[in-house]
Amino acid sequence: MANQSQETLEKQSSSPSSSSSSSSSVVVIVVPFHGHSHLNQLLQLSHIISSHNIPVHYLGSALHISQVKSRATHVVNQERIQFHDFPTPHFLPPLPNDTQFSSHLIHSFETSVENLREPFADLLTLLSETARKVVVIHDPLTSSIVHDSCRFPNTE
């Protein structure tokens, strides 16, 4: 997984939109929880931030990034918002249980937490080397993914 995520980071960081972030003094990383409303709200916030010419890196699984792009209410500005989609292992979630509302989502949540922490840390390492300040905006449910951000002195 480490080699695959590093290759993905290198490929995405070599795109034209990421070159603007490497010379920027402030860069934002957004890490939403993969629920529909969580993804959309943080995408809207990303648009507001990017409208001030601040580069935004939106991190998620490949499936959820694809979904949020397809449901976007306005054109996604890929010059200012860099999407980093990382593959997660395929799994068959259990059927929803009427007596336990969100029990079918637990495995999906655990899988994303286990598989996005390392790519997040790799992206943060890459961006913190070139940006004066890296701001991490995350959903409270993704706290364990962004836990490593406290190791970087230029990260808030």
Where in the sequence numbering do the catalytic residues fall? 38, 139
Count of CB atoms situated within 10 Å of the CB of 30: 24
Element (H, E) at 50: helix 36-50
Encode burial over 114-127: b for 16+ CB neighbours within 10 A, e otherwise: ebbbbbbbbbbebb
- The Cβ-side half-sphere exposure at 122, using a 13 Å CA radius, reads 21
